[in-house]
Structure 1
Amino acid sequence: MTKKISGAEFPLAKIFSSDFDYAIPSYQRPYAWTEVQAGELFSDLVDFFTKEKDDTYFLGSIVLIKEEGKPHAEVIDGQQRLTTLTILLAALTTQFSGELRADFENYIREPGRASQGLKPKPRLELRERDRQFFADYIQGLKLTELVALDPAQVDNESQRNVRRNAEVMLQRLKATFGEDTDRLCEFGAFLVQRCFLVAVSTPSQQSAFRVFSVLNSRGLDLLPTDIIKSDVIGSIKQVHQEDFTEIWEELEVETGRDGFAEVFGHIRMIYAKEKARRSLLEEFRERVIPKVGSAEDLVSKVVEPYTRAYLIAKHCQYISTSNAAEINALLKWLNRIDNSDWLPSAMQFLAEHENDAAYVHFFLRKLERLAACMHICGYDVNARIERYATLLRALDRSHSMASPVEAVELTAFEQSALRRVLQSDIYLMTARRRNYLILRLDSFLVDGAATYDPTVLTIEHVLPQTVVEGSVWATQWPNFSDRILWLHRLANLVPLTQRRNSQAQNYDFERKKKAYFGGKQGVSSYALTTQVLNTAAWTPAVVEQRQADLLEMLSTKWELAET
């Protein structure tokens, strides 16, 4: 069924009337306008009021989830303006008395009419955490008491913004109109009669978010996690909602909004164990939420532990009295891989076994080998997800250090495939795959003690790609087939921390070592390159032996069986 989208321009007298009953959903960000935005709004309004006697002032648009003919309106976009306008109207109302005050108070609170079934209530309800504060001080017209509060004693940033903006509005009204009540009333009439908002309404949540994305491309779009938060927190008993909201928002702050959305994508994979086919919101609602007992359990037993595990894995922050350095080094290598498909497995394992440092070390050593194998062998996303799904299913079963999970081990086929790739033309791989392999090998040579900056990495050939006839290279490598065989293989490649030097690439071996591979200091940051600097000659026999040694090192460290 098509969801009807309607949009119309309304004066504030209509916006703040019984036709609209605004609620800010819990997933919305807190009230964030500071005195800068509030002051700008006031200045713009006063400037227009002073200079334009008849024209109308456009305040922008708001996006609502609202059924036609029903006042309840969930605010998807526009809470900052609606909240600030309410503060301004409240500040204005406090300047009046008698019938004039009662008249303007109607724009802040629904006075109620029993004959129409209308109960007295505020026209705008903020998020649960700030709702009562706003109702008491702003909508209760206790602005003098509000301004007198010590900002340091106010609960949160949102409420401090409300307090400060109320203070700004009172100060600016006093400075602009003084004691001139008639002029102040004219300004109030301008606000409610000549200032307009466009209200875009639809009864469909998805449709409202789509409209919001189009109209508010400059802003920060709502993420699926915001809506999931609304579903989850809204299902928790009200007495506990604030506690769980605080946990949720703390996790979001720690991960960042985009990181938090990534966490939920990984949680979806942990539960679904297959590639996503629809939106995260749809799949999370279908594949995760029904499998968790309650909303409280979803926060405390799923979102919180998996987010903590994500932060450990993503930021390499495992803490333990044993194996911590080795574990964090493995996590750094996993984070160098050009996809994050390994993260759900790491998150599930860490969430359940974080306190068993020996088992964590074992598992991550095997996981890095598995991830590296798929990365170096060029597995596509479907093959990777299928492979990790096998591991995730195994992680659901009972396992421990005494009886470790077997699915994290490389199969005989995977070991054989990796060996074949290691013996192939490594230089012709994509840069990400090639660089990972060479730096990982270099780290094995120094037993993991080195740190690397891949942003300044180049991979160079020792035997150059172009051998000039009559050169020293041509004499040492007379057989063209030998050059082709070894040119792009692992043994003939070295990592450097400098830009390519097209001229130096073709130097003879001794000059290349001194002028290019050794850099200005005559030494290298890389063990692989240092080995070459310490080599007397570069012949086919030397390269063949070096290839065997390097493959043996990789086979030992990655525990690859002989084929």
Structure 2
Amino acid sequence: MNELEPLKSIFKDRIFKIPDYQRGYAWTTRQLRDFWEDLVNLPTDRFHYTGLLSLKKVDKNIWNNWNDERWLIEDRGFKPFHIVDGQQRLTTFVIFIQAISEQLKAIPENKDKKDEEIYLGSFSLKAIKEEYLVVEKPPQFIIKTYKFGYEVDNPSFKFLRHKIFLEPDSGTIQETFYTLNLENAKRFFKENLQNYFDKYGLSEIEALFKKVTQNMMFNVYEISDDFDVFVAFETMNNRGKKLSNLELLKNRLIYLTTLYDEKELKNDERISLREKINDAWKEVYYQLGRNKKNPLNDDDFLVAHWIMYFQYTREKGDDYIRFLLEQKFTPQNIYAKTEVRLSSIQEFEEVREDEDTDQEEVEANGEEEIIVMRSQLSPKEIEDYVNSLKSAAVHWYNTHNPVNNLDLTAQESLWIDRLNRIGIIYFRPLVTVAFLNKDINSDKRVELLKAIERFIFITFRLSRAFSTYRNSEFYRAARQLRNGELTINSIIQRLNDRMNYCFYTPENSEETYFDYTYFQKFIDKKFKSGGGFYYWNGLRYFLYEYEMEKVRQRGSQKIDWKLFVKSEKDKVSVEHIYPQTPTHKIWKDSFKGYKKSQLPFFQGSLGNLLPLSQSINSSLQNDCFEDKKSAKYNDKKEKIRQGYSDGSHSEIEVSGYDVWNSDTILDRGNKLLEFMEQRWDLKFEDDTAKAELLFLDFMLEEEEELRTTEE
């Protein structure tokens, strides 16, 4: 059958299921908005081509296990179908109709009415639900049969029934990457329908319902039994919202389980392997969607797992998915056979069960061996791979969400949070593997996390290495650690060795000092562009770490990292104490005697930059130092800025200075660099080196000249 049909015709005498090889609901607000605008703008006397709907009739041996649907099929002649292509659109239609039904129930005059007493034009709500959503089996009405849904083992199955269709008594419902989209779609339609009802009334809601069920046309195509449904799925779903690589891979692996012959993979093993694939993807999408405010990207996870599991290459582009789909998990690797030698009696007996198995007996060291032909890609390899994906998913989530995470120790949480704040670069696969490897205890993991954080700060934030510096080496280290080929200690040693270029040892000295040359050149460019240390991409992390050190000493955290790094127009969270536009006379007096060309070095020097507990309007930076130390109020006695004396620990420390001038900027800059030495285990050669890095060495030169003159 291949003809245009409206939803009203499509749902007549059909039951739809989304099969296990399908991805979940992937439409986001952009696609929903396009759907809504198409519907609203469609004239009532016009038809709109919606797209292709490809269906595969479900065999009796499958639907016979559908308890809730079987009575409709056997007693009322409904036909069961799997949706091969078009499930995103069909899911959207169904959610839209559910939202309309809830809109009808919410109208005040319909309060306390039964579904058969509520009408939308000539359609009762009961009839609408039975035609498109759910039918209850008489006479007990215990069984609720949904005309559209997922296979029962899909997490979206319960979510759709209980969160979207509002079936009560749900119990625990697992939420995933995809259920977030189902929830978002319903919220989108409910909000838009309510606004539409408020503006135009019930008659226009009826018009929308008629258009969605009668004017939106599908090209319905039923795939014949001999058509390769998995290949069709891969091909057809590359239209519309493109499948993610993780979604494609799941379909491919399920497809491969159908290709093994009975001699290599018995039917019960085939079913078990397919269930393991589904369980793995269920877990992966649960972990990716656990944090509703920040769902994780599925392809990022797949790339990282590929790095952990297979041999990393430095090819560009989608080399990982080409490897997975075009080299590793291919039909050719199942059709291509390789010789396997079996020698144990047990293995011999297993082979003998299939008398026609291709085999050959040979003599080896006085024992008989059986040579059998097996696929180059064994079912066991598929099982091991999907189990690894499943195991890695929770640790991948934990590396992104360490705060208040009961799966992590306090120290693990602290250091992973630091890595996320500084920018974890390319180390997330390695961190994930450190949790996957059961032989690694928490103390060793923390040692590794500390070493990675130090490496990132010194190598990338200070010494300005390219972001890809040594990435291949540490990607390989992730796999080697997973396989037991490397230890935590050897990786830590390697991290330290790769920082050797960041340090130097002067002649006739045993001490090693930090080589700040690269960092100084970087900051020099920032001064030339008018910002100095303020434009350093490690500034907020550094100042926050300094602040948190004070918190550990004194308690009472006063700076929230998320607010601290949040960009607000015309507001600042890091203040120039000596302002960039010093209009007050006191500032001119405080820096009298310095050249105009030297003043920007005081303004942009590290010691002049202060993290605030509350962001302020940038115009308030120009206040004099005494005014900044105390809270400031407007004419209405409303506080318009926090004072240093009751701000962050860093602010309180600065408020202890009597004046703010060149000496205090240098003094505070030295304190910050001393903290840097202690925190990241590095050392500057002397005070001159620190002054050079702070770009205030001209102060020492002037002091030396003055001292020489006096002598």
Q: What TM bracket, shorter-length normalisation? A: 0.5 to 0.7
State the match for 1:411 in structure 2: 499
Aligned to 1:407, the other structure's residue is in SS state helix
The correspondence for 1:208, drawn from 233, 236, 239, is 236
- Structure 1 residues 78-93: aligned runs within 5 Å: 91=72
1:441 corresponds to 2:539: no
State the match for 1:248 in structure 2: 281
- Structure 1 residues 163-562: aligned runs within 5 Å: 197-199=218-220, 207-213=235-241, 222-236=243-257, 237-256=270-289, 258-270=296-308, 271=310, 272=312, 274=314, 276-278=316-318, 281-285=321-325, 294-300=381-387, 302-316=388-402, 324-338=409-423, 341-352=426-437, 355-373=440-458, 376-377=461-462, 383-395=466-478, 396=480, 398-400=485-487, 403=490, 405-409=492-496, 411-414=499-502, 416=514, 420-421=518-519, 424=523, 427=532, 430=535, 433-447=538-552, 450=557, 452-456=560-564, 458-468=573-583, 470-480=585-595, 481-515=597-631, 519-520=641-642, 523-562=645-684
Superposition deviation, residue 23 in structure 1: 9.2
Task: Provide the C-alpha distance between the structure 1 equivalents of 2:83 and 2:2, rounded to a whole number of angstroms.
Answer: 22
Task: Provide the C-alpha distance between the structure 2 equivalents of 1:240 and 1:25, rounded to a whole number of angstroms.
Answer: 16
Superposition deviation, residue 440 in structure 1: 2.4
For each residue in 1:172-215, what CA deviation from the matched residue of structure 2 results, as whole angstroms up to 9, or x when unmatched? Answer: xxxxxxxxxxxxxxxxxxxxxx99631479976665233232xx
Task: Provide the C-alpha distance between the structure 2 equivalents of 1:379 and 1:147, rounded to a whole number of angstroms.
Answer: 69
Superposition deviation, residue 376 in structure 1: 2.6
Q: Are the equivalent residues in 2 in contact too, given 1:358–1:401 (CA < 8 A)? A: no
Task: Provide the C-alpha distance between the structure 1 equivalents of 2:328 and 2:502, rounded to a whole number of angstroms.
Answer: 31
State the match for 2:340 in structure 1: none
Task: Provide the C-alpha distance between the structure 2 equivalents of 1:26 and 1:299, rounded to a whole number of angstroms.
Answer: 15
Structure with higher strand content: 2
Superposition deviation, residue 511 in structure 1: 2.2
For each residue in 1:288-343, what CA deviation from the matched residue of structure 2 results, as whole angstroms up to 9, or x when unmatched? Answer: 7699961110122x21232122122111169799x922221111122224565331
Superposition deviation, residue 63 in structure 1: 4.9
TM-score by length of 2: 0.51
For each residue in 1:253-276, what CA deviation from the matched residue of structure 2 results, as whole angstroms up to 9, or x when unmatched? Answer: 122274443311222344425475
Superposition deviation, residue 89 in structure 1: 13
One-letter amino acid of the counterpart of residue 451, structure 2? K
1:158 corresponds to 2:148: no
Task: Provide the C-alpha distance between the structure 1 equivalents of 2:620 and 2:46, rounded to a whole number of angstroms.
Answer: 72
For each residue in 1:145-193, what CA deviation from the matched residue of structure 2 results, as whole angstroms up to 9, or x when unmatched? Answer: 9954489xx877638978999x9xxxxxxxxxxxxxxxxxxxxxxxxxx
One-letter amino acid of the counterpart of residue 579, structure 2? P
Q: Are the equivalent residues in 1 in contact too, given 2:283–2:390 (CA < 8 A)? A: no
Q: Are the equivalent residues in 2 in contact too, given 1:369–1:558 (CA < 8 A)? A: yes
One-letter amino acid of the counterpart of residue 209, structure 1? N
Aligned to 2:610, the other structure's residue is in SS state strand
Q: Are the equivalent residues in 2 in contact too, given 1:391–1:407 (CA < 8 A)? A: no
Task: Provide the C-alpha distance between the structure 2 equivalents of 1:195 and 1:469, rounded to a whole number of angstroms.
Answer: 69
Query: Unaligned stretches of 5+ in structure 2?
Result: 11-15, 27-43, 59-67, 86-134, 146-151, 168-214, 224-228, 258-269, 290-294, 331-376, 504-513, 566-572, 633-638, 686-711
- Structure 1 residues 22-41: aligned runs within 5 Å: 25-29=19-23
Q: Cα gap change, 1:345/1:63 in structure 2, threshold over 3 Å: closer, same or farther?
A: farther
State the match for 2:65 in structure 1: none
Count of aligned positions: 439
Task: Provide the C-alpha distance between the structure 2 equivalents of 1:31 and 1:325, rounded to a whole number of angstroms.
Answer: 36
Task: Provide the C-alpha distance between the structure 1 equivalents of 2:248 and 2:139, rounded to a whole number of angstroms.
Answer: 35
For each residue in 1:529-559, what CA deviation from the matched residue of structure 2 results, as whole angstroms up to 9, or x when unmatched? Answer: 2221111222322222322221121122111
TM-score by length of 1: 0.62
One-letter amino acid of the counterpart of residue 263, structure 1? F
For each residue in 1:214-247, what CA deviation from the matched residue of structure 2 results, as whole angstroms up to 9, or x when unmatched? Answer: xxxxxxx642212211223444522342244224
Task: Provide the C-alpha distance between the structure 2 equivalents of 1:288 and 1:333, rounded to a whole number of angstroms.
Answer: 37
Task: Provide the C-alpha distance between the structure 2 equivalents of 1:384 and 1:228, rounded to a whole number of angstroms.
Answer: 29
One-letter amino acid of the counterpart of residue 471, structure 2? Y
Q: Are the equivalent residues in 2 in contact too, given 1:327–1:360 (CA < 8 A)? A: yes
If asked which structure has higher relative contact order (CA below 8 Å, sep 6+), I would say 1
Superposition deviation, residue 520 in structure 1: 4.1
Task: Provide the C-alpha distance between the structure 2 equivalents of 1:472 and 1:57, rounded to a whole number of angstroms.
Answer: 73
- Structure 1 residues 50-199: aligned runs within 5 Å: 60-64=50-54, 91=72, 94=75, 105=77, 108=79, 124=82, 148-149=142-143, 158=157, 197-199=218-220
Q: Percent identity?
A: 16
Structure with higher helix content: 1
State the match for 1:43 in structure 2: none
Query: Unaligned stretches of 5+ in structure 1?
Result: 1-6, 17-21, 33-51, 65-70, 75-86, 96-104, 109-121, 128-140, 168-193, 214-220
Q: Cα gap change, 1:158/1:204 in structure 2, threshold over 3 Å: closer, same or farther?
A: closer
Task: Provide the C-alpha distance between the structure 2 equivalents of 1:288 and 1:379, rounded to a whole number of angstroms.
Answer: 38
For each residue in 1:366-424, what CA deviation from the matched residue of structure 2 results, as whole angstroms up to 9, or x when unmatched? Answer: 112223345535968xx323423222333416444565532333512246566753793
